[in-house]
Structure formats: C-alpha cells, structure tokens
Amino acid sequence: MLEALNRGIDEVRMHIEQTIRTLNRLIRVCRDSEDFCGAAARRAVAADLGAVLRHRSDEFGRLGDELQALVLLLGGEPVTSATLAARARHFGFGARLAVLGPDDATIVTAWQSVEREAETRYLAAIDGYLPERIRRTVSLQADRVVGRAERIASLCDEVAMGSPSH
C-alpha cells in the first residue's frame, strides 16, 4: 500500500515538473516576443505600426506574467527574461535595419514570424499534458495568439502597397 502511494506521489510530482517545463517554454516565447515587438516598435517608421507593436509587446508581457504566476503556484522557478538567442536575433535584425535603413515591410515580416513561433508553441502546449485549470488559462491565452500571424499578413500587404516602390 505504501509503495502504491509513493508511486502516486512520484506520478503527481512528474506531472507538476512537466507542467512547469511547458509553462516555462511558453514564458520564454512570450518574453522573446515581448522583446522583439518592443524593439521593432522603436524602429517602425509608421506611427500606427509602432503603436500596434508596443501594444503587442505589452500583451505578450501580460501573458508571460500570468504564466509566471502559475509556475510560482506550482512551486517552480519561472523564466523571467527573453532568451539570449532571441536577443541575438533581435540585435542582428536591428543592425540590419540600421545598415539598410528603416523598413516597415521588413519589420512586419519578422513580426509575423515571431507570431507564428508563439502560435506553434501554444498549440504544442495545448496538445500536451496540462492540468485542467492550467489548460484553461493556456487555452485562453492561445485564443489571443493563434491566427494573429495570418492577420499580420494583411498588414504586410498594406505596408507593401504604401512603400515607395509602388
């Protein structure tokens, strides 16, 4: 009987650890996306695009904060910042814009890629194991993330139409 209880405790512990890992992966993508959108907002030529990117950066920040709270409730250590790889990509992106000049079409295309990565991570999390209460939170967040890359595609078209080459 004691052995069965220990197995049950170990199983619960494994599920909690798995949930914390999943949440931390989502936090990383939120922090990476928050960082990118904030940096891209500062480089956007069009004021409207900059405002949308700042809003999106704030939104990713709030999503990450919610997930961090869940990790803490589970007794885990949440990720708190963007990954070094993402920061290096964003630095390279900023350097490219500095050399080639500001270009909203390039920003929107990169932003779409960031949103697709977030969408992929959220869908993978929902497909995996999550306790029901946490699954509800992640699903609500996914609803705010999934499909955004496609809506951004229309921005790509609008920006392209407004570029000097057209």
CATH H superfamily, domain 2-161:
Ferritin, core subunit, four-helix bundle (1.20.1260.10)
The reported pLDDT for the residue numbered 100 is: 76
Query: Which of 84, 61, 75 has the alpha carbon at shortest distance from 20?
Result: 75
What pLDDT, on a 0 to 100 scale, did the predictor assign at position 155? 65
Residue 166's pLDDT is 41
Regions of the chain where pLDDT drops below 70: 2, 4-10, 12, 153, 155-166
105, 34 Cβ separation under 8 angstroms: no
- Provide the residue ranges of all domains of the chain, joining segments of one domain with +: 2-161
Q: Which alpha helices (H) appear in 44-103, and where do they start and end?
A: 47-73, 84-100
pLDDT value at residue 27: 98
